[in-house]
Structure 1
Amino acid sequence: MIDVTVVLVNDGYASTAIAPLEVFSSAGVLLNAFAGETPRPQFRVQVASLDGQPVQSAHQLAVSPQTSISEIEKTDLIVVSAIGLDVDGALAAHRPLLDWLCHWNAHGAGVAAACAGVSFLAEAGLLDGRRATTHWALAQEFAQRYPKVDWHPEAFITEDAGVYCGGGVYGVIDLSLYLVEKFCGHDIALDCARSMLVEMPRVNQAGFAVLPLTSRHDDGAIRKAEEWLHAHFHEDVKLEGLAAQLGMSPRNFERRFKAATGMKARNYLQALRVAAARRMLEQGARSVQQVGSAVGYDDAAHFRTLFKRHTGLTPAAYRARFGREAERLPAGRS
């Protein structure tokens, strides 16, 4: 039996505690019950708060724990629920949690969090030099706040040396199922997903992101370059020519562009094109080749490769998931 501790935090998202509790408690149990078989629970779950007292969620829901973190005597896995957007306030209010997480991780317990709750792991130093993810909208802020972390905001889930991170609030379901699979195997995780009518864990969240293609900076020349790229990305862009227009050498242009935007100019151009292609696919464009040509890629195979690299999905799969057709209910449903 695997011991799991789900940690409640004040002013957080209750679903990021309740969903892991229900997923872990259902593993080996729910589908067995449906099939009339003997339940085989895989996890023993305890719910704790900092002091053992009920917490108030971000939406005024009171949630009561079973115990306090100091009373936990055994745990193999810890899942910390997600906080709201006041990261500084949450960290200050839950400062004792950081040492507690470090203690258990040093004693072999896995530690997991999703969305803004990942800040607890980062603040505790558990993510230094490790791969991590968070909600795509928080990625830039967290990268600045925690520069020692190897951030991968395109990923739904990261795992590095027993520390697990998930993307957005409802990405905690993906993270929980990933952990079921990690600790109990694929078959039990699949049975758990089937019984709860959810998909197996997704691995990439870039397709859900509204990519911020500009960042705050004071380099006026690079701002002009960004504006030019926004207007001409669908053309045959020569970055060397753009650098010349701005009176820079290609090498100096690349250096200044990355310093200002955090991206290489060619990657920025690719991101612009993929963002435009996503919008076209979302609006129901039928031909992937035409979409590629419209955003500057006449080579359809090259376009598919780049699109999948940025979004984690092929153009056709992206259209199926996010296009207008995807909004329609299956035949016979109402």
Structure 2
Amino acid sequence: MLDVTVVLLEEGFSSTAIMPVEIFHFAGKLWNDLHDCPAEPAFRVRIASLDGGAVHSIYGLGMTPHVALSDVERTDVVIVSTSKLDLDLAFVENSALLPWLRRQHEQGARVVGVCMGAAYLAEAGLLDGRMATTHWALADKFAARWPRADWRPDLFVTEDNRVLCSGGVFASIDVSLYLVEKLCGHEVAVKCAKSMLLPMPRIHQTGYAMQTISKSHGDDRIREVEAFLQANFHTDISTQALAERAGLGERTFVRHFKAATGKLPAGYVQALRIQAAKAMLERDAKPVQAISYDVGYDDVAFFRHLFKRIVKMTPTEYRSHFAPLSVRAEAALEASQLN
């Protein structure tokens, strides 16, 4: 049986600790209990705080740990939950955690940072030269603060030399099931997920992010072209026509546009179209083919392929995640009728 230690931090999100506790506790157990089979628990779970005292979440939920960090000499898995958003203050208050994390990793433990918990791994130096992820909205700040890590905000879960990260609060579910599958096998992980009515681990969080079309800049000529494209992205416009609108030669325009926005004109239009398609999928039940036409793609197969390449899920999958309940229910009914 493997030892899992979940670390509680003050003013964090309780779910980033509770979900891992329940998933590891029920792995090999809940499915068996529901089917009147002998339980085969795979993990022994301990909850720890810095001093062994109770910890309160950001919304006041009190959580009482089993042990203090100093009581845990060795463990196979460490889960670092989230803490307060003021990281500078949090690092001071939780300074004892950093050497403890380094020691556990040196002793062979897998160390996991959930959402903002990845910041503690980075501050401890465990992410230097390693792949990492966090919530997509924090990625740029984390990359600026800890540039030696290879930040991959497109991913829900990363693993690099026994150091794991997960993006977002509920990605604690993804990384926990990921480890159950890795350490216990696919069958145990699937049974655990099914018994708890959970999906198996997601890979990409790209579809959940608010994508920035253009970086901030002060080029008025390019701003004017951007405004024109935002109003006319659904039509085909040549680069030459855009250059003439900006009063520049084509090659000069492309160079200025890329410097100002970070994208080539074609890539910029593509980003606008995908953002518009996402908004339509979130809003109503219009057929995917109609949405493809509306945003400027006559070839719906090409649109589907492009959407999946960029968003990491198909248009239908995206709608099933983010459309209003009435739209999701209608789509599910149509799918069941087709089957």
Provide the TM-score with structure 2 as the length reference.
0.87
Question: What's the counterpart of residue 275 of structure 1?
Answer: 275
Which moves more between the two structures, 27-36 or 94-103?
A: 94-103
* More displaced 10-residue stretch of structure 1: 194-203 or 227-236: 227-236
Question: What displacement does 1:118 show?
Answer: 1.5
TM-superposed deviation, 1:212: 3.3
| CA deviation after TM superposition for structure 1 residue 4, in Å | 1.0
Deviation at 1:132, TM superposition (A): 1.9
Map Cα deviations across residues 284-317 of structure 1 (whole Å, 9 max, x no partner).
3433222122212222222111111122211122
- Find the aligned partners of 2:253 and 2:146 in 1 and give their Cα distance: 27
Return the letter of the residue paired with 2:23: V
- Equivalents in 2 of 1:260, 1:51: separation in Å? 51
Name the CA distance, whole Å, in 1 between partners of 2:244 and 2:194: 57
Are positions 1:33 and 2:41 aligned together?
no
Give, in angstroms, the shift of residue 235 of structure 1: 2.1
1:296 paired with 2:296, answer yes
Please give the alpha-carbon distance, in whole angstroms, between the structure 2 residues aligned to 1:313 and 1:40. 35
- Residue correspondence of structure 1 range 1-334 to structure 2 within 5 A: 1-239=1-239, 241-243=241-243, 245-246=245-246, 261=261, 266-324=266-324, 325-326=327-328
State the SS of the aligned residue for 1:95. Answer: coil
Code of the aligned partner of 1:26: F
How many residue pairs were aligned?
331
Match of 2:337 in 1: none
User: How far apart in 1 are the matches of 2:257 and 2:162?
Assistant: 36
Give CA deviations for 1:254-289 in whole Å, capped at 9, x if unaligned. Answer: 666566555555444332211110111222343322
1:51 shift after superposition: 2.1
1: CA distance between counterparts of 2:125 and 2:221?
Answer: 37
Offset, 1:182 = 1.2
Between the aligned residues of both structures, percent identity stands at 49
> For the structure 1 residues 89 and 185, does the alpha-carbon distance in structure 2 shift closer, same or farther, using more than 3 Å as the test?
same
8 A Cα contact 1:154 1:311, kept in partner = no
Give the SS at the match of 1:155. coil
Does the 8 Å CA contact 1:24/1:180 hold for their aligned counterparts? yes
Equivalent residue letter for 2:123: E
Q: AA paired with 1:301?
A: A
Q: How far 1:30 moved relative to its partner?
A: 0.8
Change in 2 beyond 3 A, CA 1:58/1:26: same
Flag the 1:294–1:155 CA change in 2: closer, same or farther, 3 A. same
Larger radius of gyration: 2
Q: Decide whether aligned partners of structure 1 residues 227 and 159 sit closer, same or farther in structure 2, where only a CA change above 3 A counts.
A: farther
Distance 1:166 1:213, change over 3 A: same
- Mean CA deviation greater in 266-275 or 96-105: 266-275
1:133–1:155 Cα contact (<8 Å) kept: yes
Gaps of 5+ in 2: 334-339
Matches of 1:128 and 1:264, distance apart in 2: 32
> Residues 249 and 328 from structure 1, CA distance in 2 versus in 1: closer, same or farther, beyond 3 angstroms?
same
Question: Is 1:285–1:291's contact at 8 Å kept on the other side of the alignment?
Answer: no
Residue 217 (structure 1) shift = 4.3
Q: Which range is displaced more, 4-13 or 295-304?
A: 295-304
CA contact (8 A) 1:127 1:163 kept: yes
Shift in CA distance, 41/219, structure 1 to aligned 2, threshold 3 Å:
farther
Q: What SS class does the counterpart of residue 136 from structure 1 fall into?
A: coil
CA RMSD in angstroms comes to 2.6
- List runs of 5+ in structure 1 lacking aligned partners: none
Q: One-letter code of the match for 2:282?
A: E
Q: Cα distance, 1:223 vs. partner? A: 4.1
Which amino acid in the other structure matches residue 280 of structure 1?
M
Q: Which residue is equivalent to 2:336?
A: none
Q: Return the alpha-carbon distance in structure 1 between the equivalents of residues 116 and 224 of structure 2.
A: 33
Residue type at the aligned position of 2:154: E
Cα distance, 1:134 vs. partner? 1.5
Which amino acid is the alignment partner of residue 110 of structure 2? Answer: G
Change (3 A) 1:308 1:329: closer
- TM-score of the two chains, using structure 1 as the length reference: 0.88
**d(CA) in 2 for partners of 1:231, 1:140:** 29
2: CA distance, partners of 1:149 / 1:238: 40
17-26 or 62-71, which deviates more: 62-71
Structure 2 counterpart SS, 1:12: coil
Deviation at 1:167, TM superposition (A): 1.7
CA contact (8 A) 1:87 1:116 kept: no
Higher deviation after alignment, 147-156 or 73-82 = 147-156
Q: Is the alpha carbon distance of 1:31 and 1:86 closer, same or farther for their aligned partners in structure 2, counting shifts above 3 Å?
A: same
272-281 vs 292-301, which deviates more?
292-301
**Larger deviation: 229-238 or 300-309?**
229-238
